[in-house]
Structure 1
Amino acid sequence: MQNEPPKPELDEETIAFAQRVFQHARAGQAQELEELLRMGLPPNLRNEKGDSLLMLASYHGHVDAVGVLLAHGADPELANDRGQTPLAGAAFKGDMATVQCLLDSGADANGRSEGGKTPLMIAAMFNRTEIAEALLARGADLQARDAGGLTAEALAGAMGAVDTAEQLARAAPNS
């Protein structure tokens, strides 16, 4: 059995650069990201938690940075280590502009994250009626069930999200 070559260690300057890049995404610094992407920065770069630049920008509600990343080929379905997608992150945070941008760029309204939750389920749980409506308009499956067998409507009810529970009950085909 041969010994594997040691993995190269990153120097402090490289680590500091990577930290700045991820901070640009968290802070929504679209212009800085645009410049780095034009210079060859990989659009699907991920941090130690598996969060892509797009995930960080989406979660923090920076639609301009989201647009720049998507324009440079960032994958809207690239999930982090917890199985969360950028669309699920934006739905959780309640950022409609980011949700719309991701949907317009082909994000899957039925993408599953950890526990089998869809973006609609997450929006429903946190009473995000406008986002739930947008997801339904883009084909979100109202009858989808998470790993525990619960639908978005049931999850909304369990979380006390009355508005989305009622909204989803009205949207159900047999109502």
Structure 2
Amino acid sequence: MHKLLAILFAFALGAASPLPVQAQTMQETALFAAATDGDAAAIRDLLARGVAVDPRDAKGRTPLLVATHANRVEAARALIEAGADVNARDAIHDSPYLYAGARGHLEILELTLAHGADLASTNRFGGTALIPAAERGHVETVRRLIRAGVEIDHVNRLGWTALLEAIVLGDGGPRQQQVVDLLVAAGADVNLADAEGVSPLAHARRRGFDAIAARLAEAGAK
């Protein structure tokens, strides 16, 4: 409570807000600050006072997306349980669900999946949450998104699937190899080429990713 009062008092004195603010009330600004800090108790107190759960900052972010950026799990839980929209997009088309998937914030991802995450939603590159998760080698996140039912062979605006992105933008290391294994086991089309007609196997061989190339060849890649 003391922390909440301090935030409100600082705002009243004209102190700099922790996030860009556009036509926000004092309490909405405090909600963003609590989300940034991971202060679930302050969040619940503000919401109990009638503060809207999904106000927007100058970048179009909701408090839930701000909490997701910082991987503040308990803050995200408090907001989601109060009805925050897990699919609310900001100015660059990120949502709490998409961002949690892309960054491997598995606990928050689980919360979004349990509260209506739109598995077909896409980011500014036209990719599902699975594609950047595969690119970054977030093995458990990839496993969870596959289990949730995200389309395996969705093609983004760059012409890449999750399998292609795991190869083209990955480092070929153990995590990337595990991601490829998961995608192949889930039925990914190992011969689905990119927009220039280059196959996953050709990309793997060009980059010297011998272990991945062997996995693909074993799965019937050409």
TM-score by length of 2: 0.68
- 1:7 corresponds to which residue? none
Instruction: Decide which of 107, 110, 132 is 1:64's aligned counterpart.
Output: 107
In structure 1, runs of 5+ residues without a counterpart are 1-9
- CA drift of 1:124 comes to 2.4
Decide whether aligned partners of structure 1 residues 52 and 18 sit closer, same or farther in structure 2, where only a CA change above 3 A counts. Answer: closer
**One-letter identity of the residue aligned with 1:29:** R
Alignment of 1:1-175 (within 5 A): 10-12=22-24, 13=29, 14-15=56-57, 18=61, 20-125=63-168, 126=170, 127=172, 128-172=176-220
- In the aligned structure 1, how far is the partner of 2:70 from the partner of 2:104? 9
Percent identity, aligned pairs only, is 28
Q: Report which structure shows greater RCO (CA 8 Å, sep ≥6).
A: 1
C-alpha change, 1:173 and 1:20, in structure 2 (3 Å) is: closer
Total equivalences in the alignment: 166
Amino acid at match of 2:186: R
Q: Cα deviation per residue 1:96-117 (whole Å; 9 max; x = unaligned)? A: 1101111111111111112221
Equivalent AA in structure 2 for residue 32 of structure 1: A
Alignment partners' CA distance in 1, 2:150 and 2:203: 22
Cα gap change, 1:55 to 1:159, in 2 (>3 Å): farther
Deviation at 1:48, TM superposition (A): 1.1
AA in 2 matched with 1:36: L
In structure 1, what is the Cα distance between the partners aligned to 2:65 and 2:221?
A: 43
Name stretches of at least 5 consecutive residues in structure 2 with no aligned partner. Answer: 1-21, 30-55
